[in-house]
Amino acid sequence: MNSDLEKLKELQQLDLKIAALKAELATIPKRVQKVETKLSSARKRVEDAKAGIKANELARRNFEHEIQGENNKIVKFREQSSSVKTNEQYKALLSEIATAEAAIKAQEDKILETMVEVENLNAEVKTAEAALKAETAVNEKEKTDTVAEGKQKEQALAELQAHRTALREGITEDILTTYERVARGRGTGLAEARGQRCLGCQVMLRMQVWQDVKNGTSVETCSSCARIMYYVLEHEAEAEPLPLSVSDTPAHQVEREWMFVPKVGPNGAFVVFVNHKGNATMKAYDAKTGTAIERKTEKNALYQKAFAELLDQARNLYVDEPHVEERYKEQLPPEILDDLQHQVPNPAPDA
């Protein structure tokens, strides 16, 4: 196998491990926060119980203050009783005294209630404090373990990144650029080819590309997803058989491939070849202007055979946007045309 491919396979494994480690590291602060949140809940239970005791004490003092006020009233009414001159006045004072005594009795009952309540609150404080102490010990250990785990993962990440940096230096620059560009857009830049298919997107490969991938002497990319392909002989027995003809191809399957074809048009053409519902189609856009210049359809055919002559000198292209030829029937948009022209620096027909 090409040495670049071997290194790219290792690089992709490193990239996947690095991505997984970064995802795991991103959860560390949340896990620490979750531990702290559990402790804050335990602390709040203690604080709420203590706040209840303070409220209880304040209420009891208010009741005692009200009792003192009612006692003062009784003393005053009794002093006044010695100087009243009529029975009506005396009865009125006795009624006021009875009202004050009833109020005192009500406040004393409330004080008894607060005393019972404060006993329960004191017990609740002790229980909450004991729970807080136990949870603090457990949670602090969990927090310490989580932080330690994060440091270990950071160390592992640093080692993987250092290995990745060293590995990248041994890969041909343009191949590395292709790999990283595709990986950014698709998650992976490398895909296994098996059974004449790219396993990254399940699109069939042209026979020549398939043979080149199997031989492993050059670096080939999938014309559909642009991933760099590699071949594993041991896996070939597991591959599904390719359709031998149009009749063997499922009607719902669409195979699409963009190429630069120097034989088409005065400037060469960017051509999309499509197999769909048993028909083969090619649509060509002028490589210089992006204007649609030709369209052909062959019924009951595959484009690999129907347009085999055009494919001889064709070069694979990468188009990320699907169904371009359906959306832009007369003219490629500037951004797509510019991208295609960059992939073929000198899009001129062969002399």
**Pair 220, 8: CB distance under 8 Å:** no
Q: What rounded mean pLDDT belongs to the chain?
A: 86
The pLDDT of residue 81: 84
- Per-residue pLDDT tens for 53-67? 999 999 989 999 999
- Per-residue pLDDT tens for 112-162? 998 988 888 898 888 888 888 888 888 888 888 999 999 999 999 999 999
- Average pLDDT of span 254-279: 88
The pLDDT of residue 204: 81
State yes or no: pLDDT of 349 exceeds 60.
no
State yes or no: pLDDT of 18 exceeds 60.
yes
**Pair 263, 284: CB distance under 8 Å:** no
State yes or no: pLDDT of 258 exceeds 50.
yes
The pLDDT of residue 347: 53
The pLDDT of residue 1: 59
State yes or no: pLDDT of 11 exceeds 90.
yes
The pLDDT of residue 244: 46
Contact residues for 112 (Cβ-Cβ < 8 A; gap 6+): none
- Per-residue pLDDT tens for 287-316? 999 999 999 999 998 888 898 888 877 887
**Pair 188, 17: CB distance under 8 Å:** no
Show the domains of the chain with their CATH numbers. 3-167 (1.10.287.1490), 175-238 (no CATH), 251-343 (no CATH)
- Average pLDDT of span 169-175: 92
Cα dihedral sign, 96-97-99-104:
positive
Judge if pTM exceeds 0.75.
Answer: no
Band the pLDDT of 254: cuts 50, 70, 90. Answer: low
**Pair 8, 189: CB distance under 8 Å:** yes
Query: CA 217, CA 210: separation in Å to the nearest integer?
Result: 12
Q: Please tell me the number of Cα atoms within 13 Å of 4 on its side-chain side.
A: 18
State yes or no: pLDDT of 325 exceeds 50.
yes
The pLDDT of residue 238: 55
Band the pLDDT of 106: cuts 50, 70, 90. Answer: very high
